Amino acid sequence: MGELLIYGATGYTGAMAAEHAHDLGLRPVLGGRNADKLAAVAARLDCAYRVFDVDDRSAVDDALTGAEVLLNCAGPYLRTARPLMEAAIRTGTHYLDIAAELDSYRLAEHFDGAATAAGVMLLPGSGGSVAMLGCLAAHTAARVDHPQRLRIALHVAGSMSRGSAISASENLTTDTLHRVDGSLVPQDQSAVEAFDFGFGDVACTPVTLPDLITIGRATGIANIDTYVYASGDAFPDGALADLPDGPSAAQRATDRYHAVAVATGGDGRTVSSVLDTVNGYTFTPLAAAHAARRVLAGDVRPGFRTPVEVFGAGFAETIADTHITDR
């Protein structure tokens, strides 16, 4: 296999992704800005490392030259996605990340043509909710004829990592959006819907998720609404800099994530499916490492792609303790 470079490998999620990649036998090269922290993680995993900043174009190109796959785990992606996508296209390196911000996916759409011409795949959301919800959406949509509408809700449980909280705060969108007839348009934020994740109906709030782009792209469904239900300390108060790195292993084991998808076919028939999985901070680095392994093994389609397009609707259920149940 070729070389996997993981940027942001000293962060909470990036370090776990590096550990999973190491356990899969990928021997990743670790990247980041802090030499001391990188050296410590690299020593623990017996990996090589490269110190560089995404704002240094020459250093980024040097670091990516020779790498077949780049996994970007360094948020906020508002700052890192553009320079690393551009460098990936210049150096012929397939780009993966774990972004949850809409702008990263709009950026991948923007670079779709250039990436295709360069033979480079852009796969934002290789782990995390985009991989979860994309697989659930494709699975559910396949149960109806000519799917016309999809409503999907994510249950976020437990606490948020400091990096995720900071990234989310810097990527707030002023509009709550949904997809109507193929276009992203404002949604009424008060249009709360009830969904049952397996523990009774709960009120879910409309939210702008990148899945509005990725699910539309992968399934062709023109009308998509996305919702979230948060339990625990999913959206923290107070100073974000004072938050812990992320939930503990015990907290992750307790706080499972869930999702519900409701698909409506051209004949008006409606079906639903429920996804039950491990905590998002357990799923994300594991799914990203498996995605990187599959790309290194040749699962590549140049241009902007989604996990379900490349790996199929069953990808999420290959990750840890993840199950989809039909209703």
Check residue 160 and give its pLDDT. 72
- Residue 300's Cβ-count burial label (10 Å; 0-12, 13-18, 19+) is middle
**Contact at 8 Å (CB) between 260 and 197?**
yes
Question: Hey, what amino acid is at 43?
Answer: A
DSSP 39-50: HHHHHHHT--EE
SS3 call for 157: strand
At 112-162, the pLDDT tens digits run 999 999 999 999 999 989 999 999 999 999 999 999 999 999 999 987 776
Token digits of residue 183: 């276009």
At 204-237, the pLDDT tens digits run 999 999 999 999 999 999 999 999 999 976 555 6
∠25-26-27 over CA atoms, to 5°? Answer: 95
Q: Which of 272, 271, 258 is nearest to 133 (CA)?
A: 258
Question: Hey, what amino acid is at 241?
Answer: A
Low-confidence ranges of the chain (pLDDT < 50): none
Check residue 159 and give its pLDDT. 76
Check residue 236 and give its pLDDT. 57
Q: How many CB atoms lie within 10 A of CB 61?
A: 16
**Contact at 8 Å (CB) between 19 and 45?**
yes
Q: First CA to last CA across the chain, in angstroms?
A: 41
**What stretch of H or E contains 326?**
strand 323-326
Check residue 156 and give its pLDDT. 94
